[in-house]
Structure 1
Amino acid sequence: MSEYPQASGPVDAVAPTELAEQLRTGEPVSVLDVRNRADAEAWPLSGAAVTTVQIPYYRFVEADVTDAVDDLAREVREALDEPVLVVCGRGESSAYVAELLEAEGLAAANLDEGMRGWARVSHTVEIETDSATVVQYQRPSSGCLSYLVVSGDEALVVDPLRAFTDRYVAAARDHGVELVAAVDTHVHADHVSGVRDLRAATDADVLLPAGARERGLSFDARLVGAGDTIEVGEVALDAVALPGHTTEMLGYRLGGLLFAGDTVFLESVARPDLEAGDEGAPDAARRLHATLSALDDDRLIAPAHFSDAARPNDAGAYVARMGDLRGRLHALSLAPDEFIDFVLADMPPRPANYEEIIAVNLGRESAAADESFELELGPNNCAATRAADAD
């Protein structure tokens, strides 16, 4: 039996995929978040056209008991345009609240499956290249980006999410190709990697940076170093060292495109403290500055993350020329010492459960699929948000 009070009747439900389409098109969305304040502030349902009010669901329970729901409905109506989308963690307490509001004549709907349903949403966009088909997978709940590269009769995935394993497999099947490799640019701290699940599902090779061994890698994988080449179909990806966010970070060049991992984003640069810690962060930031300074202006950057501040291109893909990023990110114009001070001045909270996620991704700890999904719920926080100063 649910721990939440039950709604007295059905209420309109908005599928997470429908919400994603609304946000992509810029349609205004009014959100009533009935989670507790800490959860609502740590992981908001956000977007450029989203207006949110947070009122915890227990206040609605109390109001229902005391016949005071009309007061809360008035508070919501004064703060938000209708219709109002009610949001919680699993879509249960929010269904109850939406029903109460509907009974007071306020147009309300429930986000089906709540934020956990939102975390399962992905959207795909093709990136135009001369040599291969590249599909960008976007996860709006956490801003994670991964990539399917298709050439000839083969495909590989860069930075796969475990939660989306079946989607990569289905996409390769739809393209009529064999998925031959699953590649991580680095040991991720914000989501559980899908490389081993893809190997189990397709017999694909698992490719990881050689430096992952020094970080404690404890499962079999093909180790890749800077200068190595990965062949897929009729093209080759060249591995490039990109230290800074982590010591082992590798990027992969495909013609003029660079899969840059967590090095630079459209609205920020990587945070340097997740591996190095507070004491080692200045040195890591200095390495990151050198890495960024060496990137060619003409290189098309395909990052591993995006945020609400990022703006996709006309096709909807989160990619940008490095020269354009230099023109709009203040951090990229700074000398090394200034860059270090700027990036470290106001770091966001570390990703939730990041140490456990790293341990899982290294194979030092295990987690079932449902457990790994719970571990990564929330924002990614892999960027140094003080650097998110694009014009």
Structure 2
Amino acid sequence: MDETITPSDLADLIAGGERVGVVDVRDRDEFERWRVEGPGVEVEHVPHARFLQAQVRGGAEDLVDLPEPVVAVCGRGEASGHAADLLRAAGVEAANLEGGTDAWARLYRARELETPDGATVVQYHRPATGCLGYLVVDGDDALVVDPLRAFADRYGADAAARGATLRRAVDTHVHADHVSGVRTLSDGDVTAVVPETARDRGLAFDAETLADGDEVAVGETTVRAVAAPGHTTEMTALLVEHGGPGTLLSGDSLFLESVARPDLESGVDPERAAATLHESVHERLLALPGETLLAPGHVGPTVRPRADGTYAEPLADVAEAVPLLALDREAFVERVTASLPPRPANAGRIVAANLGREDPDEDLLTLEVGPNNCAAT
């Protein structure tokens, strides 16, 4: 293994199902807040001070008990570089993560989905947070779904690379885990589009709205709004169709391994919202043809991608694989609300930003990074 590994190469290693050891040498509070995760990843926290002590003693061979290769991680790749050097000197196959967690948080990958009807849908994945977004392209027209403000310059450029112009930016709901790029993109020639009921939450900027059943044309491809409240009252999935079974961009409603949590919207009773979510999932989303491709708004750290690196599965397969979906409404509500994870970091401020009430001026990495806590389990 080389002495360093790029964030992209580490993401490939994790996505490939390899066992990877990660030694995180940051301070305890930074480690507890968020860390590199993924299927096959085993993480240990060993503060850099212990490596300094080991250097004085003469070796770091007893500091970690991890599968090899071991990747050393810190904030910017400096202290972890020293740790990786000591581990290699002790005979451990170890590499330093270039740029550290800062670079890991800035990694944003794009891959085209293999859709059931041939529609061109590009999936964006941010490994550090599990956020997924989408670019729909047909001819010279393009639409982006759930864009991130931190990567707002990517979408128009990616559309142009496919011979198209980005014309609309759509949010499936008011996000609580990241600052949306919809408003930023609409400062140019892109039209902002939000669910119609988002106005009931106090949306404070101009945007077109989508009601249940409304359609937007992207070339010869149709994007149809499917109301799916539960995670939030305005949550709206988008069905992308190109003459056959479509691709369901489910936002935060139904995931590949779970369902969305029902407690992030201020003033909403979680049990009532969970009951609404059960209805949305079973009567609206799972009522679509089983071959419809489910492409969610988030992916958890234990989910393995498909062979092509994308995160999507046919609805019928998801219905069979997710135990929560076999429960009746009462049991579903009890299970979903029983042990909700911590709220996403800075959720209140992020919601305010996405409603247009606040314009955060600090580094978005500081505001957004954290584990994927939008799923109920």
Match of 2:240 in 1: 254
Answer yes or no: is the 8 Å Cα contact 2:156–2:165 preserved in 1.
no
Q: 1:269 aligns with which of 247, 259, 262?
A: 259
- Residue 189 of structure 1 corresponds to 176
1:311 deviates by 3.4
Distance 2:247 2:94 in 1: 44
CA contact (8 A) 2:19 2:67 kept: no
* Cα distance in structure 1, aligned partners of 2:130 and 2:339: 20
Q: 1:168-317 counterparts in 2 under 5 A?
A: 168-200=155-187, 202-255=188-241, 256-276=246-266, 280-294=269-283, 295=285, 296=287, 297-298=289-290, 299-317=292-310
Give, in angstroms, the shift of residue 102 of structure 1.
Answer: 4.2
Would the alpha carbon gap of residues 266 and 69 (structure 1) be closer, same or farther in structure 2, given more than 3 Å must change? farther
Which of 55, 60, 77 is residue 51 of structure 2 equivalent to?
60
Distance 2:272 2:194 in 1: 24
**Secondary structure, counterpart of 1:331 in structure 2:** helix
Aligned amino acid, residue 60 of structure 1: F
Where has structure 1 moved over 6 Å in runs of 4 or more?
none
Distance 2:90 2:376 in 1: 44
Structure 1 residues 81 and 383, CA gap change in structure 2 (3 angstroms): closer
**Are 1:347 and 2:361 matched, yes or no?**
no
* Number of equivalenced pairs: 367
**Paired residue type of 1:333:** A
Of residues 360, 363, 371, the one that matches 1:379 is 371
Checking the alignment, whether the CA contact within 8 Å between 2:61 and 2:87 is kept in structure 1 is: no
TM-score normalized by structure 2? 0.91
Deviations 1:44-75 (A, max 9, x none): 312222222211122233445xx2252xx122
Contact 1:13–1:112 (Cα < 8 Å) also in 2: yes
Secondary structure of 2:77 counterpart: coil
CA offsets 1:91-128 (integer angstroms, 9 cap, x no match): 23212323344455544321112112111112222223
For 2:293 and 2:306, locate their aligned partners in 1 and report how far apart those are by CA, in whole Å.
12
SS of the counterpart of 1:269? coil
Letter in 1 for 2:316: G
Residue 311 and residue 51 in structure 1: after superposition, are their counterparts in 2 closer, same or farther (change >3 A)?
A: closer
Query: Of residues 333, 350, 369 in structure 2, which corresponds to 1:357?
Result: 350
Match of 1:14 in 2: 5
Report the TM-score when normalising by structure 1. 0.88
Q: Report the Cα offset of residue 316 of structure 1.
A: 2.9
Paired residue for 1:166, among 132, 148, 153?
A: 153
**Would you say the 8 A contact 2:17–2:304 is kept in 1?**
no
- Does the residue aligned with 2:237 lie in a helix, a strand or coil? strand
Give 1:38 shift: 4.0
**1:37 Cα deviation after fit:** 3.3
Contact 1:246 1:276 in 2 (8 A): no
Return the alpha-carbon distance in structure 1 between the equivalents of residues 282 and 176 of structure 2.
Answer: 24
| 2:103 is aligned with 1:117 | yes
Q: Aligned-pair distance for 1:81? A: 4.2
| Aligned residue among 110, 116, 128 for 1:141 | 128
Partner of 1:23: 14
Larger deviation: 30-39 or 110-119? 30-39
Offset of residue 204 of structure 1:
0.7
Structure 1 pair 29–313 and aligned structure 2 pair: CA distance change class (3 A): closer
CA deviations 1:170-201 (Å, max 9, x no partner) are 2111111110000000001111111122223x
Return 5+ residue gaps in structure 1 as ranges: 1-10, 386-391
CA deviation string 1:279-309 (max 9, x = no partner): 7100100100000111225232211011133
